[in-house]
Amino acid sequence: MAKQAKRIQAWTGDRETPMAFSDAIKAVKDNAKAKFDESIEIAVNLGVDPRHADQQVRGVVNLPSGTGRDVRVAVFAKDAKAAEATAAGADIVGAEDLFEKINGGFMEFDRVIATPDLMGLVGRLGKVLGPRGLMPNPKVGTVTPNVGQAVKDAKGGAVEFRVEKAGIVHAGIGKCSFDQDALEANVKAIVDALVKAKPSGAKGTYVKKISLSSTMGPGFKIDPASLGA
């Protein structure tokens, strides 16, 4: 078992009883004692078995308060679409040249967007991008002819989510420096998105558990009912 950080071991409060989401956010902020601006992450345990195709949960949500992160965006596009992506703020834009760069080990980006006509090229990077969750996908808006808007969304707070093997979705929802209202809006947005993405094969209780934690702080359980889940 992984050793817990001293600040978590020292926590003596009640972390087992689920609380209202607004109280959990306050508790996370109050217990973020690191010397840097800690990120806040939500973990949602869903009543699904991702091994079955009809129980997959995947999508994208635009967080109203942003993520607080500087998202580096790589775009596969040519000509006018390449210029559109550059104007929207993409960090690196290219086609065959970008392919060669990534194939050679370049990975200094957090999101990959591609125009549909270049997916044949991008698909050849599946073994590189796929395991890192970076492969463009039309279901989450990263394969699109509207690359300018996709770049703006990625830079402005669009967060992709995908259920893991254990039925859990992890996502960053902001920084501890965000005010209470901003974090509440982000938590509501991602939980609402997960509820809307409920797959047809899900049976029984869908949102089973929710917890919130900061980078270095303890986690706190949220009562799903406080979010209408």
Q: Has residue 2 got a pLDDT over 60?
A: no
Give the integer Cα–Cα distance in Å for 70 and 23.
Answer: 28
Sign (positive or negative) of CA dihedral 83, 79, 133, 199: positive
Tens of pLDDT along 85-130?
A: 999 999 999 999 999 999 999 999 999 999 999 999 999 999 999 9
Residue (of 26, 122, 120, 2) closest to 13 by Cα position: 26
- Tokens 């960053």 belong to 172
Task: Please compute the mean of the pLDDT values over residues 40-64 and round it to a whole number.
Answer: 94
Distances (CA, A) of 187 to 67, 145, 226: 11, 30, 11
Q: What would the two tokens of residue 213 be?
A: 């934690």
Tens of pLDDT along 86-95?
A: 999 999 999 9
Tens of pLDDT along 135-165?
A: 999 988 999 999 999 999 999 888 889 999 9
pTM for this predicted structure: 0.79
